[in-house]
C-alpha cells in the first residue's frame, strides 16, 4: 500500500540517533517495551512500531521530527491511546511518538477563561483544576478520565454535553503545532479569530495527519448554577426518537440528550443499578442546565413535552446524588455491555435526527440477518449513534461478520444523509467507508491538503483518507486512471 518505505530503515542506527536526542530510557525498542503501544482503544488492529519515543521537551520532539523528515521515516503521534478507530495504530517501519510526558497545565487565565495546556494533559484534569475558579472545560468524552487533550483535538472529540456546548473545535482558541519538518507554528490567536485561513478548524479532527500538536489553549465556561436531569421511559423506540425532536422544536437546547435502548438499559442496570425502568424499550436522559430560574421553567416544560410525546414514566432527579445515579448508567454503558458479551464493537455514525426510527429499525433487522445482538446507546440530541455489536472473537468468523455488519450500519448512515463518523474518527477502521462517503474528487482534495502540510506523507501514513487505488479495490468507486489529477498521490 505504501510505496514510501521501499528503503529499509536501519533500526539500530535510528535507535542510536534517537538516544542522542533524548535520554535512553525515553527510547523504547525491545519487543516487551513496545507491546503497550501496539494498539489504541480499537484492539482488533495491532502492529508493533520500530521504536516508541517518550520525549519530554519541545526541542526533543522537534529533533525527532527533523530526523524522521530527513530520513523519510513515518511518525505516528499518540496521546493516551484511547482512540476507537485505530488512529494511533503504529507503523511497522516507523516511530511512535508519545506525547504522554507533556502533561502540564501551563496556565489558567481565569479572567479570560482560558487554559493553556500541554497535549498530554487529560481532558478531565483541566476541569478539575479550573473548578476552583468556578470554571470548566465543556467537551466531555466518556473517556475523559484517560484521554488527552491532544488526542481530543486530533479527533475533534465530543461528549454528552456537546449538543449545547459544541465539540472540541468550538472550545479551543489556539494551538502550537510542529510540522513534519520540525517547524513551530502558532495557530489561532489570543482573540476570538485569527489572521488568514482558519487552520484551527482544519487541524481539529485531522487525526495526526498534518502536524504534531504540542500546546493547546482551551476555552473555559462558568460552571452552571444548576443542572437537573430528567429520565423518561418509553414503550417504543420511535416515540423516544420523536420526543427528542419535540423538545428541540419547543426552543429548548438541553445540555445533554441521551438515549439508550432495551438491551443497553438492561446491561447498565445489571452493572450499576441506576434504577432504570426495567421494562422500557428506550429511555431518554435529558439534562437541563443554566441559571436556577431557567432550569426550573425548562424542567416543567420538558416534563410536559415528554408526557405528550408518550413517555410512560418521567422522573426528575431529586438531588445531586440521584442526578449522578441517572448518569452513571449511561456513562457505564460501554463497560456494562462488555460484561454481558465477550467482545463488543462500538460504531459511531451520525444521522439527521428525523431518520432515527428508520435507522434503528434497519439496524434491528440487520442484527437478525447477521445473528449478532446490538445494544444502542447514543447522543440522541445530535443524531450520533453508538450501536454496540455484541460478538465473540473466539468464534471463528464472528469478528469478520461483525465488521461487515458494522460497515453496513455506516453505509446506512451515509444513505440517509449522515456520516460514517461523528466523533471517533476514520483512523484505520473506517478507511473503506470513506470511499462510500466521498467521491474520488473529494478524496483527491483531501490528499492535496495533506500534501500542503506533509509533502513526503510521513505523518500517520495510510490513515484517515484512503488512496483512490484502495477505493477502487474496495469496489465502492470507479477510478478512471487517466483522470487522476495527482498521480503521485497514490502513495498517501
Residue with cell 429548548: 252
The option from another protein, ligand FAD, none interacting with 150 (CB < 5 to 8 A, set by class) reads ligand FAD
Total residues contacting another protein by CB under 8 A comes to: 94
CB 225: neighbour CB atoms within 10 A?
A: 12
Q: 57-96 burial, b if ≥16 CB within 10 A, otherwise e?
A: eeebbbbbbbbbbeeebbbbbbbbbbbbbbbbbbbebbbb
DSSP state of 161: T
Judged by CB under 8 A, the stretch of 16-24, 39-47, 256-264, 429-437 that binds another protein is 429-437
The verdict on 147 binding ligand FAD (CB under 6 A) reads yes
Rounded CA separation 435/377 (Å): 26
Q: Which is nearer to ligand FAD, 60 or 440 (CB)?
A: 60
Q: Which residue from 309, 437, 460, 467 is in contact with another protein, where contact means CB under 8 A?
A: 437
- Name residue 344's beta-bridge partners: 390
- The torsion angles phi and psi of 238, rounded to 5 degrees, stand at -65, -40
Long-range own/partner contacts, residues 247-252 (CB < 8 A, 24 or more apart): 247/286, 247/302, 247/305, 247/306, 248/353, 248/381, 250/301, 250/302, 250/305, 252/288, 252/298, 252/301, 252/302
Q: Which residue from 92, 404, 448, 488 is in contact with another protein, where contact means CB under 8 A?
A: 448
Residues 351-390 binding ligand FAD (CB under 6 A) are: none
CB of 371 to ligand FAD, least distance (A): 26
- The torsion angles phi and psi of 313, rounded to 5 degrees, stand at -160, 140
In SS3 terms, 184-231 reads as EEEEECCCCCCCCCCHHHHHCCCCCCCCEEEEEEEECEECCCEEEEEE
Q: CB-based contacts of 100: which residues, under 8 Å, 6+ apart?
A: 54, 78, 79, 80, 120, 148
CB of 15 to another protein, least distance (A): 30
Residues 203-262 binding ligand FAD (CB under 6 A) are: 207-208, 212-213, 226-228
The verdict on 80 binding ligand FAD (CB under 6 A) reads yes
Q: Which is nearer to another protein, 108 or 267 (CB)?
A: 108
Cα–Cα distances in angstroms (integers) from residue 278 to residues 199, 229, 375, in the given order: 48, 19, 15
Judged by CB under 8 A, the stretch of 7-15, 42-50, 197-205, 368-376 that binds another protein is 197-205
CB of 407 to another protein, least distance (A): 14
The verdict on 474 binding another protein (CB under 8 A) reads no
Rounded CA separation 454/212 (Å): 11
The verdict on 1 binding another protein (CB under 8 A) reads no
The verdict on 32 binding ligand FAD (CB under 6 A) reads no
Q: Which is nearer to ligand FAD, 78 or 430 (CB)?
A: 78
Binding mask 229-268 toward another protein (x if CB under 8 A, else -) reads ----------------xx-xx-xxx---------------
CB of 139 to another protein, least distance (A): 11
Q: Which is nearer to another protein, 222 or 342 (CB)?
A: 222
**Residues contributing to the site for ligand FAD (CB under 6 A):** 40-41, 76-84, 87-88, 99, 119, 141-143, 147-148, 150-152, 154-155, 157-159, 207-208, 212-213, 226-228, 292, 296, 299, 303, 315-320, 323, 334, 423-424, 460
Amino acid at each position: 500500500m505504501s510505496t514510501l518505505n521501499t528503503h529499509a530503515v536501519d533500526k539500530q542506527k535510528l535507535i542510536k540517533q534517537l538516544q542522542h536526542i533524548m535520554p535512553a530510557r525515553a527510547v523504547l525498542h525491545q519487543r516487551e517495551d513496545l507491546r503497550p503501544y501496539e494498539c489504541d482503544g480499537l484492539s482488533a488492529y495491532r502492529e508493533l512500531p520500530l521504536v516508541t519515543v517518550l520525549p519530554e521537551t519541545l526541542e526533543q520532539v522537534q529533533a525527532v521530527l527533523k530526523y524522521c523528515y530527513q530520513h523519510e521515516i513515518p511518525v505516528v503521534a499518540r496521546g493516551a491511546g484511547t482512540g476507537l478507530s485505530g488512529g494511533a495504530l503504529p507503523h511497522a517501519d516507523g516511530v511512535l511518538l508519545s506525547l504522554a510526558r507533556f502533561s502540564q497545565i501551563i496556565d489558567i487565565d481565569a479572567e479570560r477563561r482560558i487554559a493553556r495546556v500541554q497535549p498530554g494533559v487529560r481532558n478531565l484534569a483541566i476541569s478539575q483544576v479550573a473548578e476552583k475558579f468556578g470554571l470548566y472545560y465543556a467537551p466531555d468524552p466518556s473517556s475523559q478520565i484517560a484521554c488527552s487533550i491532544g488526542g481530543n483535538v486530533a479527533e475533534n472529540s465530543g461528549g454528552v454535553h456537546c449538543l449545547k456546548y459544541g465539540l472540541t473545535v468550538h472550545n479551543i482558541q489556539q494551538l502550537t503545532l510542529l510540522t513534519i519538518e520540525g517547524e513551530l507554528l502558532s495557530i489561532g490567536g489570543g482573540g476570538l479569530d485569527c489572521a488568514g485561513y482558519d487552520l484551527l478548524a482544519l487541524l481539529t479532527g485531522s487525526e495526526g495527519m498534518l502536524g504534531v500538536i504540542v500546546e493547546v489553549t482551551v476555552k473555559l465556561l462558568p460552571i452552571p448554577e444548576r443542572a437537573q436531569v430528567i429520565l423518561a421511559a418509553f414503550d417504543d423506540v420511535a416515540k423516544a426518537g420523536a420526543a427528542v425532536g419535540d423538545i428541540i422544536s419547543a426552543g429548548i437546547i438541553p445540555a445533554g440528550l441521551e438515549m439508550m435502548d432495551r438491551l443497553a438499559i438492561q446491561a447498565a442496570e445489571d452493572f450499576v443499578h441506576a434504577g432504570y425502568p426495567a421494562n422500557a424499550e428506550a429511555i431518554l436522559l435529558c439534562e437541563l442546565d443554566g441559571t436556577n430560574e431557567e432550569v426550573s421553567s425548562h424542567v416543567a416544560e420538558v416534563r410536559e413535552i415528554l408526557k405528550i410525546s408518550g413517555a410512560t414514566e418521567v422522573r426528575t432527579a431529586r438531588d445531586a446524588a440521584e442526578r449522578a445515579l441517572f448518569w452513571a448508567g449511561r456513562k457505564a454503558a460501554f463497560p456494562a455491555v462488555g460484561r454481558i458479551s465477550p467482545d463488543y464493537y462500538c460504531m459511531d455514525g451520525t444521522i439527521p435526527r428525523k431518520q432515527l426510527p428508520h435507522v434503528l429499525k434497519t439496524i434491528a433487522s440487520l442484527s437478525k440477518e447477521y445473528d449478532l445482538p446490538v445494544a444502542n446507546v447514543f447522543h440522541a440530541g445530535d443524531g450520533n449513534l453508538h450501536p454496540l455489536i455484541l460478538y465473540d472473537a473466539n468464534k471463528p468468523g464472528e469478528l469478520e461478520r461483525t465488521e461487515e455488519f458494522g460497515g453496513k450500519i455506516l453505509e446506512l448512515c451515509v444513505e440517509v444523509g449522515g456520516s460514517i463518523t461523528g466523533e471517533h474518527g476514520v483512523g484505520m477502521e473506517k478507511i473503506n467507508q470513506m470511499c462510500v462517503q466521498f467521491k474520488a474528487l473529494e478524496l483527491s482534495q483531501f490528499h492535496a491538503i495533506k500534501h500542503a502540510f506533509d509533502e513526503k506523507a510521513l505523518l500517520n501514513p495510510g490513515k484517515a483518507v484512503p488512496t483512490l487505488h484502495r477505493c477502487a479495490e474496495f469496489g465502492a468507486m470507479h477510478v478512471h486512471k487517466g483522470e487522476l489529477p495527482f498521480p503521485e498521490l497514490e502513495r498517501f
